[in-house]
Chains A and B, each alone.
Chain A
Amino acid sequence: MKHYKKMIQPYVVWAALLIVIPLILIALYAFTEEGNEVLTLSFTWKNFAKFLESTYVNVVVKSFWLGIITTFLCLLLGYPLAFIISRFPEKTQATLILLVTIPEWINMLLRTYAWMNILADNGIINQLLDLLGMRPVNMMYTDFSVILGLVCNFMPFMIIPIHTSLSKMDKSLIEAAYDLGATPFQTFRKVIWKLSIPGVLNGIMMVFLLSVSTFVIPKLLGGGQYMLIGNLIESQFISVGDWNFGSAISLILAVIILIFMSLMKRMDKQEE
């Protein structure tokens, strides 16, 4: 055992350099005044106070709202797919899961640009509508386009954990439920759904975290005016140059996510 314990040391150094120290720096920035001289530290709550302005609160609300909708849609669409896949013979299941993950092999930017081409005012869909003699529809730079992009991108993160929990379920439990008088619907509600909840919670956690903190997809599909937390942080660092405020938002987001995750963990434990 001791021998193996030594092998963890490089990882500890790695984590310290690339995770812990940057986090400390972010915290430091968040609690200090503007100006990048580290030597003249003057602590302040100003950055957090600024965050309470209604513009910023609205951004947070919108981000969480979009995150919740995206997660809900992923669950609604992903669960049936995961369920259907889990009914196939094992070999077919492996192939189908591979198919689910294939889009993830292509760079997310490229996929998002593809959506732009499909949804644009003179994009594929509108050209088709035009051919059919119908009026063009404006889809780009709306909630619809952003949610569509988010759902398509993060769907696999919902499907895979749910599929895992469904496929490892003992099939004789389903037969036992039928045997004891449960209709297919009751069997789903009382046995299959209950036993897949750990996978569902994992999926929700993954998709929600990803969609709350994303910034590329809303930027491309939502346009420059579309502000989510991720875009706000990005703009503070890149265009506005207010690293202190950007750090404060990052910290707030991290804390909210931590609270969310511990809530999910507790739900998971209760289910068990």
Chain B
Amino acid sequence: MSNKLIELKDLTKNFDDQQVLRGINLDIYENEFLTLLGPSGCGKTTTLRIIAGFEEPSSGEVLFNGIEISKLPPYKREINTVFQKYALFPHLNVADNIAFGLNLKKVDKSVIAQKVERMLKMVGLEGFEKRDVTLLSGGQQQRVAIARALVNEPKVLLLDEPLGALDAKIRKQMQFELKKIQQEVGITFIYVTHDQEEALTMSDTVVVMNNGEIQQIGSPIDIYNEPENRFVANFIGESNIIEGVMVKDFLVEFDGFRFECVDKGFEEMEEIEVVLRPEDLDIVAPEDAKLTGVVQNTTFKGVHYEILVKTDLRIYKVQTTDYAEPGRKVGLSFEPEDVHVMYKMGAY
């Protein structure tokens, strides 16, 4: 990836006595689709609002192209925001909403009309210029909000759970369109969501946050396959999380057995946690198995069955297209690369 555009340095934020950000360090690059992902109250929206300029950090720095901007008011930043509930101006029609920023900059009327038209085309609302924004559907309002922000040609577009208020089908479609728009305009998108699927689908980089701290920064594939700790593993997808010990590089011990793995770089005999994704586990005959147990419950989920297998020490969740009736003694099998070793979390 190219140049660093935004750097957050040791950002903290307190509201009254409550600390909502506890030292955020994050580099955001040009042209990147970065998602801040986490449960509500994790500080992701506050981080976004600090970048936009609506909040001032309690301490720390916000660098934009290397220049500190944390005290700069929002109207002086080359950043635009798409708000959660769109925040379209009800007294202006679609075209005037989109032209709001350009009108302030005293751009020539004919240029404005041209740009508005191009934006409407990009978001698929051609011919909507004179419509009343309050009469548009949620999806259409969201498109106007995106056009209103992008027409100013910002360096960064901030999106605060922009699809949260839409129904599932339109949300899927908008995810796809947003990604397409981002590639088309070629600017940085910083996207806030609590929806892990949304984050994995659209992002170049996912930043998982919890309790005002960054838990992990990585590509969607890294975040999913190599979660760094229990929180990330739990938050992204479903997981079997097992406490264990890293015997040495490429060898891990849990549930009383030693297994091959592909992880290294831990200390010898370091206490760790292991993630086994339900879809990585296979049901096999007990004699071919790495672990054995009894099927406790089988649920049909459409594409696959969800099978709970009770071993001596715990219950494993397995997702497979094979059927196994409850009560049957089965074996569980997995490959070395399916064993994801993570640092053990202290405080959680």
Contact = CB atoms under 8 A, between A and B. Distances in A.
A173 interface: yes
Interface stretch (A10-18, A149-157, A174-182): A174-182
A21 to B, nearest CB: 43
Contacts of B90: 173, 195
A168 B43 CA distance: 27
A22 B88 CA distance: 49
A73 B69 CA distance: 42
A179 B75 contact: yes
B91 A271 contact: yes
Nearest to A187: B75
Given A176-B81, A179-B80, A181-B152, A195 B74 contact: no
26 contacts: A170-B85, A172-B83, A172-B84, A172-B85, A173-B87, A175-B54, A175-B81, A175-B83, A176-B81, A176-B83, A176-B88, A178-B74, A179-B74, A179-B79, A180-B75, A180-B80, A180-B100, A180-B152, A181-B75, A181-B101, A181-B152, A182-B104, A183-B75, A194-B91, A195-B90, A195-B91
Interface of B: 52-54, 73-75, 79-81, 83-85, 87-91, 100-101, 104-105, 148-149, 152
Contacts of A170: 85, 87
B80 A175 contact: no
A175 B158 CA distance: 13
Interface in A24-64: none
Interface in A109-157: none
Interface string A164-205: 000000101101111111110010001100110000000000
Contacts, number: 60
Contacts of A179: 52, 74-75, 79-81, 149
B104 A176 contact: no
Contacts of A190: 100, 104
Contacts of B52: 175, 179
Contacts of B79: 179
Nearest to A195: B91
Given A177-B100, A180-B80, A181-B75, 17 more contacts: A170-B85, A172-B84, A175-B74, A175-B83, A176-B81, A178-B54, A179-B75, A179-B79, A180-B104, A180-B152, A182-B100, A182-B104, A183-B75, A190-B100, A190-B104, A195-B90, A272-B91
B74 A173 contact: no
B75 A173 contact: no
A178 B91 contact: no
Contact of B87 (A172, A181, A183, A271): A172
Contacts of A176: 81, 83, 87-89
A181 B104 contact: yes
Nearest to A191: B89
Contacts of A173: 87, 89-90
B104 A186 contact: yes
B182 to A, nearest CB: 18
B89 A181 contact: no
Interface residues of A, number: 19
A272 B101 CA distance: 21
A183 B53 CA distance: 13
Contacts of A181: 75, 101, 104-105, 152
Closest 5 CB pairs of A and B: A180-B101, A172-B87, A176-B87, A178-B74, A179-B81
Contacts of A175: 52, 54, 74, 81, 83, 87
B108 to A, nearest CB: 16
A186 B149 CA distance: 18
A141 B149 CA distance: 59
Contacts of B148: 180
A191 to B, nearest CB: 6
A63 B92 CA distance: 38
Contacts of B105: 181
Nearest to B80: A179
Contacts of B73: 178
Contacts of B88: 176
A186 B148 CA distance: 17
B91 to A, nearest CB: 5
Contacts of B149: 179-180
A178 B75 CA distance: 5
Interface in A196-241: none
A69 B89 CA distance: 33
Contacts of B104: 180-182, 186, 190
B134 to A, nearest CB: 10
Nearest to B73: A178
B114 to A, nearest CB: 18
Nearest to A183: B75
Contacts of B80: 179-180
A81 to B, nearest CB: 23
A124 B256 CA distance: 94
Contacts of B75: 178-183
Contacts of A172: 83-85, 87
A190 B75 CA distance: 14
A188 to B, nearest CB: 13
Contacts of A183: 75
A186 B79 CA distance: 18
A178 B152 CA distance: 13
B69 to A, nearest CB: 14
Contacts of A191: 89
Contacts of B84: 172
Nearest to A179: B81
A243 to B, nearest CB: 49
B46 to A, nearest CB: 14
